[in-house]
Structure 1
Amino acid sequence: MKEWLHPICQEWASRCSTHGILMIEKTTCHAAATDTFDVVLLVIVDPQGESMFLRQYALNEEKAVLYAVSERKLNEWLVLGSHRKAVDWVFNGKVVFDRDGYVQKLRQRLEQFPPEERRLKMGIEFAKLIRRYTDGKALFAAQHWLDSYNHMVQALHHLARLTVIEHGLYPEVTVWNQVKRMDGRIYKLYEELVGSEEPLPKRLELLLLASEFLIHSYVESGSSHLCEALKEKNGAWSVEEMIGHPKFAPYSVDLVIMLEYLVERKVLAVVEMPTKGNTMFERYYVLQRETF
Protein backbone atom coordinates (compact mmCIF):
# COMPACT_ATOMS: atom_id res chain seq x y z
CA MET A 1 0.00 0.00 0.00
CA LYS A 2 1.18 3.55 -0.68
CA GLU A 3 2.32 4.52 2.82
CA TRP A 4 1.14 8.11 2.56
CA LEU A 5 -2.42 6.91 1.87
CA HIS A 6 -2.47 4.56 4.87
CA PRO A 7 -4.04 7.11 7.30
CA ILE A 8 -6.79 7.91 4.78
CA CYS A 9 -7.62 4.21 4.37
CA GLN A 10 -7.62 3.76 8.15
CA GLU A 11 -10.01 6.66 8.59
CA TRP A 12 -12.53 5.22 6.11
CA ALA A 13 -12.13 1.66 7.43
CA SER A 14 -12.98 2.86 10.95
CA ARG A 15 -16.40 4.07 9.79
CA CYS A 16 -19.21 1.57 10.31
CA SER A 17 -20.77 2.66 7.00
CA THR A 18 -17.74 1.50 4.97
CA HIS A 19 -18.13 -1.93 3.35
CA GLY A 20 -14.85 -2.17 1.49
CA ILE A 21 -11.83 -0.31 0.12
CA LEU A 22 -10.00 -1.12 -3.13
CA MET A 23 -6.72 0.35 -4.33
CA ILE A 24 -5.87 0.58 -8.03
CA GLU A 25 -2.32 1.59 -8.93
CA LYS A 26 -1.24 3.00 -12.28
CA THR A 27 0.79 0.62 -14.41
CA THR A 28 2.75 1.35 -17.56
CA CYS A 29 0.61 -0.98 -19.68
CA HIS A 30 -2.72 0.12 -18.24
CA ALA A 31 -2.45 3.78 -17.25
CA ALA A 32 -5.93 4.51 -18.65
CA ALA A 33 -7.56 2.64 -15.77
CA THR A 34 -6.56 5.34 -13.26
CA ASP A 35 -7.22 8.47 -15.33
CA THR A 36 -3.48 9.36 -15.11
CA PHE A 37 -3.52 9.28 -11.28
CA ASP A 38 -0.87 7.18 -9.55
CA VAL A 39 -3.49 5.61 -7.29
CA VAL A 40 -7.28 5.34 -7.24
CA LEU A 41 -9.00 4.48 -3.97
CA LEU A 42 -12.51 3.09 -4.35
CA VAL A 43 -14.44 3.15 -1.07
CA ILE A 44 -17.82 1.40 -1.07
CA VAL A 45 -20.19 2.76 1.57
CA ASP A 46 -23.70 2.23 2.88
CA PRO A 47 -26.43 3.40 0.46
CA GLN A 48 -27.99 5.69 3.09
CA GLY A 49 -25.33 8.37 2.63
CA GLU A 50 -24.57 10.61 -0.34
CA SER A 51 -24.23 8.73 -3.62
CA MET A 52 -20.63 9.84 -4.30
CA PHE A 53 -17.85 11.71 -2.53
CA LEU A 54 -14.74 12.68 -4.50
CA ARG A 55 -11.41 13.98 -3.23
CA GLN A 56 -7.89 14.33 -4.70
CA TYR A 57 -4.53 14.19 -2.90
CA ALA A 58 -0.91 14.94 -3.78
CA LEU A 59 2.48 14.28 -2.21
CA ASN A 60 5.67 15.38 -3.95
CA GLU A 61 5.06 14.35 -7.58
CA GLU A 62 2.50 11.63 -6.85
CA LYS A 63 -1.24 12.16 -6.99
CA ALA A 64 -4.22 10.07 -5.90
CA VAL A 65 -7.99 10.27 -6.19
CA LEU A 66 -10.56 8.84 -3.80
CA TYR A 67 -14.06 7.83 -4.83
CA ALA A 68 -16.42 7.04 -1.97
CA VAL A 69 -19.54 5.62 -3.62
CA SER A 70 -22.74 4.13 -2.28
CA GLU A 71 -23.72 0.58 -3.17
CA ARG A 72 -26.52 2.03 -5.30
CA LYS A 73 -24.18 4.32 -7.25
CA LEU A 74 -21.62 1.54 -7.79
CA ASN A 75 -24.36 -0.79 -9.07
CA GLU A 76 -25.47 1.97 -11.45
CA TRP A 77 -21.91 2.26 -12.75
CA LEU A 78 -21.60 -1.49 -13.24
CA VAL A 79 -25.02 -2.30 -14.71
CA LEU A 80 -25.76 0.87 -16.68
CA GLY A 81 -22.18 1.30 -17.84
CA SER A 82 -22.10 4.95 -16.75
CA HIS A 83 -18.53 4.53 -15.41
CA ARG A 84 -16.86 1.82 -17.48
CA LYS A 85 -13.62 1.75 -15.49
CA ALA A 86 -15.49 0.66 -12.37
CA VAL A 87 -15.53 -2.92 -13.68
CA ASP A 88 -11.72 -2.95 -13.84
CA TRP A 89 -11.49 -1.36 -10.41
CA VAL A 90 -13.71 -3.95 -8.72
CA PHE A 91 -12.17 -6.97 -10.47
CA ASN A 92 -8.50 -5.95 -10.44
CA GLY A 93 -8.13 -3.59 -7.48
CA LYS A 94 -6.14 -4.62 -4.42
CA VAL A 95 -8.45 -5.21 -1.46
CA VAL A 96 -7.34 -2.91 1.36
CA PHE A 97 -10.37 -3.42 3.61
CA ASP A 98 -13.24 -5.89 3.35
CA ARG A 99 -15.92 -5.86 6.04
CA ASP A 100 -17.59 -9.28 6.40
CA GLY A 101 -16.32 -10.37 2.98
CA TYR A 102 -18.37 -7.72 1.17
CA VAL A 103 -15.86 -7.18 -1.69
CA GLN A 104 -15.38 -10.92 -2.15
CA LYS A 105 -19.16 -11.42 -2.44
CA LEU A 106 -19.42 -8.50 -4.86
CA ARG A 107 -16.76 -10.04 -7.09
CA GLN A 108 -18.52 -13.40 -6.99
CA ARG A 109 -21.79 -11.75 -8.02
CA LEU A 110 -20.12 -9.99 -10.93
CA GLU A 111 -18.46 -13.22 -12.06
CA GLN A 112 -21.83 -14.98 -12.03
CA PHE A 113 -23.44 -12.01 -13.85
CA PRO A 114 -27.10 -12.60 -12.79
CA PRO A 115 -29.38 -13.16 -15.83
CA GLU A 116 -31.65 -10.19 -15.04
CA GLU A 117 -28.68 -7.81 -14.88
CA ARG A 118 -27.29 -9.31 -18.07
CA ARG A 119 -30.57 -8.80 -19.96
CA LEU A 120 -30.82 -5.20 -18.78
CA LYS A 121 -27.22 -4.45 -19.72
CA MET A 122 -27.73 -6.01 -23.16
CA GLY A 123 -30.89 -3.94 -23.63
CA ILE A 124 -29.08 -0.70 -22.82
CA GLU A 125 -26.19 -1.48 -25.17
CA PHE A 126 -28.60 -2.58 -27.89
CA ALA A 127 -30.53 0.70 -27.63
CA LYS A 128 -27.29 2.71 -27.86
CA LEU A 129 -26.22 0.58 -30.82
CA ILE A 130 -29.49 1.31 -32.66
CA ARG A 131 -29.06 5.04 -31.97
CA ARG A 132 -25.51 5.16 -33.33
CA TYR A 133 -26.23 2.93 -36.33
CA THR A 134 -29.36 4.86 -37.32
CA ASP A 135 -27.62 8.22 -37.05
CA GLY A 136 -24.56 6.90 -38.89
CA LYS A 137 -26.73 5.57 -41.72
CA ALA A 138 -28.60 8.88 -42.05
CA LEU A 139 -25.36 10.87 -42.12
CA PHE A 140 -23.94 8.48 -44.73
CA ALA A 141 -27.01 9.07 -46.93
CA ALA A 142 -26.40 12.83 -46.58
CA GLN A 143 -22.74 12.27 -47.57
CA HIS A 144 -21.38 13.56 -44.26
CA TRP A 145 -18.62 10.95 -44.31
CA LEU A 146 -16.62 11.93 -41.23
CA ASP A 147 -19.69 12.36 -39.04
CA SER A 148 -21.01 9.02 -40.26
CA TYR A 149 -17.62 7.46 -39.51
CA ASN A 150 -17.70 8.77 -35.93
CA HIS A 151 -21.13 7.25 -35.29
CA MET A 152 -20.22 3.92 -36.87
CA VAL A 153 -17.07 3.60 -34.75
CA GLN A 154 -19.26 4.09 -31.68
CA ALA A 155 -21.82 1.61 -33.05
CA LEU A 156 -19.07 -1.01 -33.34
CA HIS A 157 -18.06 -0.36 -29.73
CA HIS A 158 -21.63 -1.04 -28.59
CA LEU A 159 -21.73 -4.14 -30.78
CA ALA A 160 -18.49 -5.29 -29.18
CA ARG A 161 -19.85 -4.78 -25.68
CA LEU A 162 -23.02 -6.67 -26.61
CA THR A 163 -20.88 -9.63 -27.67
CA VAL A 164 -18.94 -9.61 -24.40
CA ILE A 165 -22.12 -9.44 -22.32
CA GLU A 166 -23.71 -12.27 -24.30
CA HIS A 167 -20.67 -14.39 -23.38
CA GLY A 168 -21.49 -13.75 -19.71
CA LEU A 169 -18.77 -11.18 -18.98
CA TYR A 170 -18.69 -7.48 -18.14
CA PRO A 171 -17.12 -5.33 -20.87
CA GLU A 172 -13.76 -3.98 -19.71
CA VAL A 173 -11.90 -0.84 -20.73
CA THR A 174 -9.88 -2.97 -23.17
CA VAL A 175 -13.03 -4.36 -24.75
CA TRP A 176 -11.41 -5.09 -28.12
CA ASN A 177 -9.01 -7.55 -26.49
CA GLN A 178 -12.07 -9.37 -25.18
CA VAL A 179 -13.90 -9.31 -28.51
CA LYS A 180 -10.89 -10.54 -30.45
CA ARG A 181 -11.14 -13.83 -28.53
CA MET A 182 -14.93 -14.11 -28.85
CA ASP A 183 -16.07 -12.93 -32.27
CA GLY A 184 -13.57 -12.45 -35.06
CA ARG A 185 -16.24 -10.99 -37.37
CA ILE A 186 -16.80 -7.88 -35.28
CA TYR A 187 -13.09 -7.42 -34.65
CA LYS A 188 -12.39 -7.65 -38.39
CA LEU A 189 -15.11 -5.07 -39.15
CA TYR A 190 -13.45 -2.67 -36.70
CA GLU A 191 -10.01 -3.28 -38.24
CA GLU A 192 -11.34 -2.69 -41.76
CA LEU A 193 -13.14 0.51 -40.79
CA VAL A 194 -10.19 2.17 -39.04
CA GLY A 195 -7.28 0.63 -40.95
CA SER A 196 -8.36 -0.09 -44.52
CA GLU A 197 -6.90 1.91 -47.41
CA GLU A 198 -10.26 1.90 -49.21
CA PRO A 199 -11.90 5.34 -49.65
CA LEU A 200 -13.94 6.25 -46.56
CA PRO A 201 -17.36 6.18 -48.32
CA LYS A 202 -16.63 2.65 -49.55
CA ARG A 203 -15.57 1.49 -46.08
CA LEU A 204 -18.74 2.95 -44.57
CA GLU A 205 -20.96 1.40 -47.22
CA LEU A 206 -19.55 -2.08 -46.57
CA LEU A 207 -19.75 -1.60 -42.80
CA LEU A 208 -23.38 -0.48 -42.90
CA LEU A 209 -24.35 -3.60 -44.83
CA ALA A 210 -22.43 -5.94 -42.53
CA SER A 211 -23.65 -4.18 -39.38
CA GLU A 212 -27.29 -4.46 -40.40
CA PHE A 213 -26.96 -8.25 -40.50
CA LEU A 214 -25.15 -8.41 -37.14
CA ILE A 215 -27.61 -6.06 -35.44
CA HIS A 216 -30.51 -8.17 -36.67
CA SER A 217 -28.94 -11.23 -35.03
CA TYR A 218 -29.11 -9.42 -31.67
CA VAL A 219 -32.78 -8.37 -31.89
CA GLU A 220 -34.06 -11.15 -29.64
CA SER A 221 -31.40 -10.98 -26.93
CA GLY A 222 -31.08 -7.19 -27.12
CA SER A 223 -34.82 -6.55 -26.70
CA SER A 224 -35.51 -9.33 -24.18
CA HIS A 225 -35.47 -7.07 -21.11
CA LEU A 226 -37.69 -4.42 -22.68
CA CYS A 227 -40.20 -7.00 -23.93
CA GLU A 228 -40.40 -8.64 -20.50
CA ALA A 229 -41.11 -5.24 -18.96
CA LEU A 230 -43.89 -4.64 -21.50
CA LYS A 231 -45.56 -7.88 -20.38
CA GLU A 232 -46.20 -6.40 -16.94
CA LYS A 233 -49.26 -4.69 -18.37
CA ASN A 234 -52.04 -6.18 -20.48
CA GLY A 235 -52.48 -4.02 -23.55
CA ALA A 236 -50.59 -1.17 -25.12
CA TRP A 237 -48.17 1.29 -23.52
CA SER A 238 -47.80 5.00 -24.21
CA VAL A 239 -44.32 6.50 -24.26
CA GLU A 240 -45.34 8.61 -21.27
CA GLU A 241 -46.15 5.47 -19.27
CA MET A 242 -42.85 3.87 -20.18
CA ILE A 243 -40.79 6.94 -19.28
CA GLY A 244 -42.44 7.00 -15.86
CA HIS A 245 -41.78 3.29 -15.20
CA PRO A 246 -38.51 2.42 -13.41
CA LYS A 247 -37.77 -0.58 -15.64
CA PHE A 248 -37.60 1.63 -18.74
CA ALA A 249 -35.66 4.47 -17.09
CA PRO A 250 -32.18 3.03 -17.85
CA TYR A 251 -32.84 3.34 -21.61
CA SER A 252 -33.08 7.11 -21.21
CA VAL A 253 -33.04 9.07 -24.48
CA ASP A 254 -32.47 5.93 -26.56
CA LEU A 255 -35.83 4.40 -25.65
CA VAL A 256 -37.86 5.96 -28.47
CA ILE A 257 -35.48 5.04 -31.28
CA MET A 258 -35.27 1.48 -29.95
CA LEU A 259 -39.08 1.24 -29.92
CA GLU A 260 -39.26 2.40 -33.53
CA TYR A 261 -36.58 -0.08 -34.57
CA LEU A 262 -38.54 -2.91 -32.93
CA VAL A 263 -41.66 -1.77 -34.77
CA GLU A 264 -39.74 -2.05 -38.05
CA ARG A 265 -38.64 -5.55 -37.06
CA LYS A 266 -42.26 -6.46 -36.19
CA VAL A 267 -41.39 -7.19 -32.57
CA LEU A 268 -43.73 -4.38 -31.51
CA ALA A 269 -46.83 -2.94 -33.13
CA VAL A 270 -48.18 0.60 -32.98
CA VAL A 271 -51.75 1.10 -31.79
CA GLU A 272 -53.38 4.48 -32.46
CA MET A 273 -55.70 5.73 -29.72
CA PRO A 274 -58.05 8.70 -30.28
CA THR A 275 -57.34 11.83 -28.25
CA LYS A 276 -60.00 13.88 -26.46
CA GLY A 277 -60.63 16.08 -29.43
CA ASN A 278 -60.76 13.09 -31.80
CA THR A 279 -58.84 15.12 -34.37
CA MET A 280 -55.62 13.15 -34.01
CA PHE A 281 -54.37 9.93 -32.50
CA GLU A 282 -51.84 9.07 -29.82
CA ARG A 283 -49.37 6.28 -30.59
CA TYR A 284 -49.13 3.32 -28.20
CA TYR A 285 -46.86 0.28 -28.37
CA VAL A 286 -47.80 -3.35 -27.85
CA LEU A 287 -45.91 -6.63 -28.20
CA GLN A 288 -46.53 -8.20 -31.59
CA ARG A 289 -44.37 -11.28 -31.10
CA GLU A 290 -44.71 -13.40 -27.97
CA THR A 291 -41.59 -15.45 -28.63
CA PHE A 292 -39.29 -13.38 -26.41
Structure 2
Amino acid sequence: MKKKKRNSPFTDNMDIILLVIVNNAQVPWDVKHYEKEDEIAAVHILTHPLLMKWVDVRKYHKVLDWIVNGTVLFERDEYVTTLKQELQKSPNNKKELRKAVEFGKLIKSYNEAEVLYETFQYKDAYSRIVHSLHYLARLTIIDRGIYPEVTVWNQVKHLDIEVYKLYEELVESKEEIKQRVQLMLIATDFVISTRARTSIKHLLDIMKSKNIAWTYADLKFHSEITPYSSYLTSMIFYLTKKGIIQTLYKTTNEKGVYQRIYQVK
Protein backbone atom coordinates (compact mmCIF):
# COMPACT_ATOMS: atom_id res chain seq x y z
CA MET A 1 0.00 0.00 0.00
CA LYS A 2 1.60 3.29 -1.14
CA LYS A 3 0.94 6.75 0.22
CA LYS A 4 -1.13 8.74 -2.27
CA LYS A 5 -1.20 12.10 -0.47
CA ARG A 6 1.30 14.05 1.57
CA ASN A 7 -0.68 13.41 4.76
CA SER A 8 -1.97 9.87 4.65
CA PRO A 9 -3.72 8.43 7.72
CA PHE A 10 -4.47 5.35 5.58
CA THR A 11 -0.76 4.45 5.70
CA ASP A 12 0.02 6.02 9.11
CA ASN A 13 1.89 8.69 7.09
CA MET A 14 4.39 6.08 5.94
CA ASP A 15 5.44 6.14 2.27
CA ILE A 16 4.85 2.42 1.95
CA ILE A 17 3.03 -0.23 3.98
CA LEU A 18 4.07 -3.85 3.48
CA LEU A 19 1.74 -6.43 4.99
CA VAL A 20 3.07 -9.96 5.35
CA ILE A 21 0.59 -12.67 6.38
CA VAL A 22 2.15 -15.80 7.88
CA ASN A 23 0.80 -19.04 9.33
CA ASN A 24 2.64 -18.80 12.66
CA ALA A 25 5.00 -16.44 14.46
CA GLN A 26 6.28 -15.86 17.98
CA VAL A 27 4.47 -12.53 18.03
CA PRO A 28 0.99 -12.49 16.37
CA TRP A 29 1.47 -8.93 15.08
CA ASP A 30 4.91 -7.40 14.67
CA VAL A 31 5.85 -4.07 13.07
CA LYS A 32 9.25 -2.89 11.82
CA HIS A 33 10.19 0.47 10.25
CA TYR A 34 12.73 0.80 7.42
CA GLU A 35 14.13 3.62 5.30
CA LYS A 36 15.66 3.60 1.82
CA GLU A 37 16.33 6.51 -0.53
CA ASP A 38 14.26 8.91 1.62
CA GLU A 39 11.26 6.58 1.65
CA ILE A 40 9.98 5.21 4.95
CA ALA A 41 8.28 1.82 4.99
CA ALA A 42 6.43 -0.02 7.75
CA VAL A 43 6.44 -3.81 7.53
CA HIS A 44 3.55 -5.46 9.38
CA ILE A 45 3.92 -9.21 9.96
CA LEU A 46 0.56 -10.67 10.92
CA THR A 47 -0.45 -14.26 11.67
CA HIS A 48 -3.32 -15.86 9.78
CA PRO A 49 -5.26 -16.86 12.98
CA LEU A 50 -5.20 -13.28 14.33
CA LEU A 51 -6.20 -11.86 10.96
CA MET A 52 -9.18 -14.24 10.78
CA LYS A 53 -10.35 -13.04 14.22
CA TRP A 54 -10.27 -9.47 12.91
CA VAL A 55 -12.09 -10.46 9.74
CA ASP A 56 -14.91 -12.07 11.73
CA VAL A 57 -15.75 -8.86 13.59
CA ARG A 58 -14.23 -6.32 11.18
CA LYS A 59 -11.65 -5.24 13.74
CA TYR A 60 -8.65 -3.01 12.92
CA HIS A 61 -10.31 -1.53 9.87
CA LYS A 62 -7.10 0.01 8.58
CA VAL A 63 -5.37 -3.36 8.18
CA LEU A 64 -8.42 -4.78 6.41
CA ASP A 65 -8.44 -1.73 4.14
CA TRP A 66 -4.84 -2.44 3.16
CA ILE A 67 -5.84 -5.93 2.08
CA VAL A 68 -8.86 -4.72 0.11
CA ASN A 69 -7.14 -1.77 -1.60
CA GLY A 70 -3.47 -2.81 -1.62
CA THR A 71 -1.46 -4.39 -4.43
CA VAL A 72 -0.66 -8.10 -4.12
CA LEU A 73 3.10 -8.61 -4.50
CA PHE A 74 3.17 -12.33 -3.78
CA GLU A 75 0.65 -14.96 -2.73
CA ARG A 76 0.25 -18.73 -2.60
CA ASP A 77 -2.88 -20.46 -3.92
CA GLU A 78 -4.53 -17.05 -4.54
CA TYR A 79 -4.83 -16.60 -0.77
CA VAL A 80 -4.89 -12.79 -0.75
CA THR A 81 -7.07 -12.54 -3.86
CA THR A 82 -9.66 -14.80 -2.23
CA LEU A 83 -9.39 -12.88 1.05
CA LYS A 84 -10.01 -9.60 -0.78
CA GLN A 85 -13.22 -11.03 -2.21
CA GLU A 86 -14.35 -12.31 1.19
CA LEU A 87 -13.74 -8.94 2.85
CA GLN A 88 -15.83 -7.15 0.24
CA LYS A 89 -18.76 -9.41 1.02
CA SER A 90 -20.52 -10.06 4.31
CA PRO A 91 -21.64 -13.69 4.55
CA ASN A 92 -24.87 -14.14 6.53
CA ASN A 93 -23.22 -16.34 9.16
CA LYS A 94 -20.80 -13.49 10.03
CA LYS A 95 -23.07 -10.57 9.18
CA GLU A 96 -25.29 -10.93 12.28
CA LEU A 97 -22.23 -11.21 14.54
CA ARG A 98 -20.70 -8.05 13.04
CA LYS A 99 -23.98 -6.21 13.47
CA ALA A 100 -24.12 -7.23 17.14
CA VAL A 101 -20.56 -5.97 17.70
CA GLU A 102 -21.32 -2.56 16.16
CA PHE A 103 -24.64 -2.35 18.02
CA GLY A 104 -22.81 -3.00 21.29
CA LYS A 105 -20.33 -0.20 20.56
CA LEU A 106 -23.21 2.07 19.53
CA ILE A 107 -25.23 1.53 22.73
CA LYS A 108 -22.23 1.95 25.02
CA SER A 109 -21.19 5.17 23.28
CA TYR A 110 -24.76 6.52 23.23
CA ASN A 111 -25.21 5.81 26.97
CA GLU A 112 -21.98 7.67 27.70
CA ALA A 113 -23.22 10.63 25.64
CA GLU A 114 -26.46 10.72 27.66
CA VAL A 115 -24.62 10.70 30.99
CA LEU A 116 -22.20 13.41 29.86
CA TYR A 117 -25.07 15.58 28.65
CA GLU A 118 -26.96 15.16 31.94
CA THR A 119 -23.83 16.21 33.85
CA PHE A 120 -23.40 19.33 31.65
CA GLN A 121 -20.27 18.03 29.90
CA TYR A 122 -21.54 19.16 26.51
CA LYS A 123 -18.31 19.04 24.52
CA ASP A 124 -17.57 15.49 25.68
CA ALA A 125 -21.18 14.52 25.02
CA TYR A 126 -20.81 15.90 21.49
CA SER A 127 -17.70 13.78 20.98
CA ARG A 128 -19.51 10.62 22.10
CA ILE A 129 -22.47 11.39 19.83
CA VAL A 130 -20.09 11.66 16.85
CA HIS A 131 -18.72 8.23 17.78
CA SER A 132 -22.26 6.88 18.17
CA LEU A 133 -23.23 8.04 14.70
CA HIS A 134 -20.07 6.47 13.30
CA TYR A 135 -21.04 3.10 14.80
CA LEU A 136 -24.58 3.56 13.47
CA ALA A 137 -23.13 4.23 10.02
CA ARG A 138 -21.01 1.07 10.14
CA LEU A 139 -24.02 -0.92 11.33
CA THR A 140 -25.99 0.39 8.35
CA ILE A 141 -23.26 -0.60 5.88
CA ILE A 142 -22.86 -4.10 7.35
CA ASP A 143 -26.63 -4.59 7.24
CA ARG A 144 -26.46 -3.96 3.49
CA GLY A 145 -23.88 -6.76 3.15
CA ILE A 146 -21.05 -4.36 2.30
CA TYR A 147 -17.56 -3.95 3.76
CA PRO A 148 -17.30 -0.71 5.83
CA GLU A 149 -14.34 1.32 4.63
CA VAL A 150 -12.52 4.03 6.58
CA THR A 151 -14.54 6.65 4.67
CA VAL A 152 -17.88 5.41 6.02
CA TRP A 153 -19.81 8.64 5.47
CA ASN A 154 -19.13 8.58 1.76
CA GLN A 155 -20.60 5.06 1.73
CA VAL A 156 -23.59 5.89 3.92
CA LYS A 157 -24.51 8.89 1.80
CA HIS A 158 -25.45 6.48 -0.98
CA LEU A 159 -27.00 3.81 1.25
CA ASP A 160 -29.06 5.46 4.00
CA ILE A 161 -29.90 9.13 3.72
CA GLU A 162 -31.62 9.14 7.14
CA VAL A 163 -28.41 8.23 8.98
CA TYR A 164 -26.33 10.52 6.77
CA LYS A 165 -28.64 13.48 7.53
CA LEU A 166 -28.25 12.91 11.26
CA TYR A 167 -24.49 13.31 10.95
CA GLU A 168 -24.85 16.29 8.61
CA GLU A 169 -27.22 18.06 11.00
CA LEU A 170 -24.92 17.47 13.95
CA VAL A 171 -21.73 18.82 12.36
CA GLU A 172 -23.25 21.59 10.22
CA SER A 173 -25.90 22.98 12.57
CA LYS A 174 -25.55 26.62 13.73
CA GLU A 175 -27.19 25.83 17.06
CA GLU A 176 -25.20 25.97 20.27
CA ILE A 177 -23.50 22.70 21.14
CA LYS A 178 -25.93 22.01 24.00
CA GLN A 179 -28.95 22.20 21.67
CA ARG A 180 -27.21 20.13 18.99
CA VAL A 181 -26.43 17.34 21.43
CA GLN A 182 -29.92 17.45 22.93
CA LEU A 183 -31.64 17.13 19.55
CA MET A 184 -29.25 14.44 18.38
CA LEU A 185 -29.80 12.34 21.51
CA ILE A 186 -33.53 12.31 20.78
CA ALA A 187 -33.15 11.64 17.05
CA THR A 188 -30.49 8.96 17.48
CA ASP A 189 -32.49 7.17 20.17
CA PHE A 190 -35.43 6.93 17.77
CA VAL A 191 -33.30 5.50 14.96
CA ILE A 192 -31.60 3.01 17.29
CA SER A 193 -34.90 1.81 18.76
CA THR A 194 -36.41 1.17 15.30
CA ARG A 195 -33.41 -0.97 14.32
CA ALA A 196 -32.58 -2.62 17.65
CA ARG A 197 -34.32 -5.97 17.19
CA THR A 198 -32.78 -6.65 13.76
CA SER A 199 -29.38 -5.33 14.83
CA ILE A 200 -29.18 -7.62 17.83
CA LYS A 201 -30.56 -10.74 16.15
CA HIS A 202 -27.32 -12.61 16.92
CA LEU A 203 -27.81 -12.26 20.69
CA LEU A 204 -31.57 -12.89 20.58
CA ASP A 205 -31.12 -16.07 18.53
CA ILE A 206 -28.62 -17.40 21.09
CA MET A 207 -31.00 -16.59 23.95
CA LYS A 208 -33.90 -18.30 22.14
CA SER A 209 -31.82 -21.39 21.36
CA LYS A 210 -32.58 -22.76 24.84
CA ASN A 211 -35.92 -22.70 26.59
CA ILE A 212 -34.43 -21.12 29.69
CA ALA A 213 -33.75 -17.74 31.22
CA TRP A 214 -30.06 -16.77 31.15
CA THR A 215 -27.90 -15.39 33.93
CA TYR A 216 -25.59 -12.57 32.96
CA ALA A 217 -22.58 -14.86 33.45
CA ASP A 218 -24.10 -17.52 31.14
CA LEU A 219 -24.34 -14.91 28.39
CA LYS A 220 -21.03 -13.16 29.02
CA PHE A 221 -19.00 -16.36 28.83
CA HIS A 222 -20.88 -17.91 25.92
CA SER A 223 -18.28 -18.57 23.21
CA GLU A 224 -20.31 -16.94 20.43
CA ILE A 225 -20.87 -13.76 22.43
CA THR A 226 -17.17 -13.26 23.29
CA PRO A 227 -16.56 -10.70 20.45
CA TYR A 228 -19.00 -8.25 22.06
CA SER A 229 -18.98 -9.39 25.71
CA SER A 230 -17.37 -6.09 26.83
CA TYR A 231 -20.51 -4.25 25.66
CA LEU A 232 -22.98 -6.82 27.00
CA THR A 233 -24.00 -4.90 30.14
CA SER A 234 -24.99 -1.85 28.11
CA MET A 235 -26.83 -4.04 25.61
CA ILE A 236 -28.77 -5.96 28.28
CA PHE A 237 -29.92 -2.81 30.04
CA TYR A 238 -30.95 -1.21 26.76
CA LEU A 239 -32.89 -4.27 25.61
CA THR A 240 -34.72 -4.59 28.95
CA LYS A 241 -35.53 -0.87 28.89
CA LYS A 242 -37.03 -1.26 25.41
CA GLY A 243 -38.96 -4.40 26.37
CA ILE A 244 -37.13 -6.63 23.89
CA ILE A 245 -35.94 -8.94 26.67
CA GLN A 246 -37.49 -9.29 30.10
CA THR A 247 -36.01 -9.67 33.56
CA LEU A 248 -37.00 -12.55 35.82
CA TYR A 249 -35.89 -13.02 39.42
CA LYS A 250 -34.31 -16.09 40.98
CA THR A 251 -34.24 -16.56 44.75
CA THR A 252 -30.90 -16.75 46.53
CA ASN A 253 -29.84 -17.91 50.00
CA GLU A 254 -30.08 -14.33 51.22
CA LYS A 255 -33.60 -13.27 52.20
CA GLY A 256 -34.89 -10.46 49.98
CA VAL A 257 -31.97 -10.76 47.53
CA TYR A 258 -32.76 -12.03 44.04
CA GLN A 259 -30.58 -12.81 41.06
CA ARG A 260 -31.61 -11.17 37.81
CA ILE A 261 -32.01 -13.55 34.86
CA TYR A 262 -33.03 -12.70 31.31
CA GLN A 263 -35.09 -14.11 28.46
CA VAL A 264 -36.42 -12.84 25.15
CA LYS A 265 -39.87 -11.33 25.62
In structure 2, give the amino acid aligned to 1:53: D
Size of the aligned set, in residue pairs, is 265
2:41 aligned residue: 64
The answer to whether structure 1 residue 94 and structure 2 residue 71 are counterparts is yes
- Tell me the alpha carbon deviations over residues 126-181 of structure 1, each in whole angstroms, 9 at most, x when there is no partner: 11111111221222222221111111011010011111111111211111111111
Which sections of structure 2, spanning at least 5 residues, go unmatched?
none
> How far 1:80 sits from its partner (Å)?
2.6
1:211 aligned residue: 188
1:271 aligned residue: 248
The answer to whether structure 1 residue 259 and structure 2 residue 236 are counterparts is yes
1:139 aligned residue: 116
- SS of 1:235's partner is coil
Query: Which TM-score applies when normalising by structure 2?
Result: 0.93
8 Å contact 2:3–2:11 — kept in the other structure? Answer: yes
1:173 aligned residue: 150
- SS of 2:60's partner is coil
8 Å contact 1:43–1:66 — kept in the other structure? Answer: yes
The answer to whether structure 1 residue 237 and structure 2 residue 230 are counterparts is no
| Identity among equivalent pairs (%) | 36
8 Å contact 1:49–1:70 — kept in the other structure? Answer: no
- SS of 2:218's partner is helix
In structure 1, give the amino acid aligned to 2:236: L
The answer to whether structure 1 residue 120 and structure 2 residue 97 are counterparts is yes
2:204 aligned residue: 227
Which sections of structure 1, spanning at least 5 residues, go unmatched?
1-23
8 Å contact 1:153–1:190 — kept in the other structure? Answer: yes
8 Å contact 2:68–2:88 — kept in the other structure? Answer: no
The answer to whether structure 1 residue 189 and structure 2 residue 166 are counterparts is yes
The answer to whether structure 1 residue 246 and structure 2 residue 246 are counterparts is no
> Could you say if the C-alpha distance between residues 164 and 269 of structure 1 is closer, same or farther in structure 2, counting changes exceeding 3 Å?
same
1:34 aligned residue: 11
> How far 1:217 sits from its partner (Å)?
2.0
Structure 1 stretches of 4+ moved >6 Å: none
- The Cα RMSD (Å) is 1.8
1:285 aligned residue: 262
> Could you say if the C-alpha distance between residues 102 and 66 of structure 1 is closer, same or farther in structure 2, counting changes exceeding 3 Å?
same
- Structure 1 distance, partners of 2:255, 2:227, is 33
